[in-house]
Amino acid sequence: MRLLVTGANGLIGRAVLARAATDGTLQLRGTTRNHGAELPDSVEPVAVGDLLPETDWSRGVDGVDAIVHTAARVHVMREVIADPLAEFRRVNVDGTLNLARQAADAGVRRFVFLSSVKVNGEQTWPGAPYHADDVPAPIDPYGISKHEGELGLRGLAQESGMDVVIIRPVLAYGPGVKGNYLSLMRWLYKGLPLPLGAIHNQRSLVALDNLVDLIVTCLHHPSARNETFLVSDGEDLSTTGLLRRTAAALGRPARLISVPTSVLRAAARVLGKADLAKRLCGSLQVDISKTRERLGWTPPVTIDDALKQTAQHFLANVHRRGTSVA
């Protein structure tokens, strides 16, 4: 099988290629924006430019049997574009469907699309998780664009006969993770007191190794055809619990101060950080029973093992660069 991975030098794309390289039966190709991106020696690199409605994917899709599409315009914390939804649609909807049409015309048999739990929504009540077949309720431009991309791909699957598999990950973490989780690790490593010791929410997370394992499963499994799956580690944590277990993995004490969530939310509103407080204090759970039952899949890596791997990578980088974790 010849496999194409888009976004090959991103966190998930790199991990998929690294895992696929251990399978001697796969011929690997990875697309990037620019020439010169570092990919494993076993991967054929193809520079295609940006994910846009007019991008020519012929060099990427020619002779390919399956595609894992990880490239996307991702959630932007500090948006500067005047019409974010239009830009998300241009990339994540029109750009994705342009790729998928060219793939179908080239005879690609299966297209695995990395979507987002944001298609389901932004928040759940504790004990009331999202399910894969719930009615979608995206709120922000990123989630809306991913939902519309899913709809377009389902229509193309019916028209062309190309299999489409949709995976909606929750927050992924692992070696090399960035964003808010990296910031939390830095704070814990520095031993900073954090007012996050009394958060009793429940959040689903997914270790990078678990996400990649499901992606690879969906490349081959006959029951994945034209289905949508949620993915997580199968164990939900509160923000407080996550911080404590991350601190343990880092070998650092968790200096957590018990501040009521109502006070945290109020302070965050004053500081213009209401969205951050929502992510830290709110719940977002997913039920992966469909993924387990339909595919016979179980997350192969435990949360504590995944946190240990993530912490080891973080600490190795700290030691290489000196003591600074800024």
Indicate which residues carry an active-site annotation. Answer: 142
d(CA 85, CA 69): 20
Burial annotation 158-186 (CB, 10 A radius, 16+ → b, else e): eebebbbbbbbbbbbbbbebeeebeebbe
d(CA 128, CA 144): 22
Token representation of residue 246 = 């991350």
How is residue 283 annotated by DSSP?
B
SS3 state of residue 247: helix
Amino acid at 189: Y
> What Å distances lie between residue 151 and 115, 157, 238, 301, CA to CA?
11, 10, 33, 31
Residues 68, 4: contact at Cβ < 8 Å? yes
Q: Which residue has the tokens 């894969």?
A: 132
Contacts of range 86-93, beta carbons closer than 8 Å, 24 or more positions apart = 87/141, 88/141, 88/142, 88/144, 88/145, 89/144, 89/145, 89/148, 90/52, 90/53, 91/50, 91/51, 91/52, 91/145, 92/51, 92/142, 92/145, 92/146, 92/148, 92/149, 93/145, 93/148, 93/149, 93/152
Beta bridge partner(s), residue 220: none
Amino acid at 192: L
